[in-house]
Amino acid sequence: MSDSHSPSRSAPVSTQAVSGQVRLVRVPEDRAGQRLDNFLLGQLKGAPKSLIYKIVRSGQVRVNGGRAKAETRLEGGDEVRIPPVRLAEPGEKAAPPRGLLDAMAASIVFEDARLLAINKPSGLASHGGSGISFGAIETLRALRPRETLELVHRLDRDTSGLLIVAKKRSALSELQALMRENDADEGRGIEKRYLTLLTGRMPDGTMTVDAPLHIGLRQGGERHVQVNAHGKASLSHFKALERRGGHSYCEVRIETGRTHQIRVHAQHIGHPVAGDDKYGDPAVNKRLREHIGLKRLFLHAASLDFALDGGRVPYALHAPLAPELFNALGRLS
């Protein structure tokens, strides 16, 4: 069927069309469930995320005539009002540096027709914004300018490991639905396993942490997450793999995907993640930095297991432990 009559499925809008007038865009059925901010990023190619949030917060963006939040899930047939904005002309925005492009190309650990997975290095944000010019997704898009690439989920900037990017809209929709199953505590979505070094000696076996998490803001707008009865349900399972130097090398399986979940749950049980400068122990972090050269958060997204096509096509993705973590662990005796 031709989609020539669907205004939101046309080619990315030009700067002139965007900057000159308000547009009313009808959400196609295959975009149902997409967040408003991600829909706008697709419509306003090249717009920084900070600008997207600004026009949403100010009420310039409307969904079916009413104000909406950035995280609002759209429905097929919704009418989105997109205000005129000023975007950079083609060629104004610098490309990611060659070193970053090469590193991103080397970080790809899996690819097929509908998705690719990278082993994201620590220190690289999942996406740009808030003073960050290039995140993983912007760099991938610069590396593959002819492909449509969309982030399926995010990792903290300081966390390394598996990050999935969808190459097809159908894969993005199905993967995001699986993510929502996790967050709804239905247990059928995506199995996520991390590797981490927790400070102190964890008990034998698996420790399950069922503690709701609430996101608050500190002075200056910094996000800070804490265990709070009014927060969202959050479930993590910590399993000690081995003990080194009085600390515990662990595998963590999470059933929900809350912001900073592993880091806050680890702090909650008295064994914060090594190298965590937000929720960790500064004195222990200093000793580990001096003794084994650990200069970053010891948290790595190691594996993701899920199935697409209604459960018929299984995926088991793995990303090897980052070299700096592997080396630090080797020096810990």
- Separation CA 233–CA 212 (nearest Å): 4
Q: 116, 104 in Cβ contact below 8 A?
A: no
- 156 close to 261: Cβ distance less than 8 angstroms: no
Phi, psi (5° rounding) for residue 163?
A: -135, 125
d(CA 211, CA 225): 12
Q: Which residues are 186's β-sheet partners?
A: none
Tell me how far apart the alpha carbons of residues 177 and 119 are, in angstroms, rounded to a whole number. 23
DSSP string covering 174-207:
HHHHHHHHHHTT-S-S-EEEEEEEESS-PPSSEE
Of residues 69, 77, 92, the one with CA closest to residue 29: 77
Planar angle of CA 240, 245, 250, nearest 5 degrees: 20
CA distance 46 to 93: 9
> Using CA atoms, how far apart are residues 152 and 144, in angstroms rounded to an integer?
17
**Whether 30 is catalytic:** no
Among residues 156, 158, 276, 281, the one annotated as catalytic is 156
What are the catalytic residues? 156
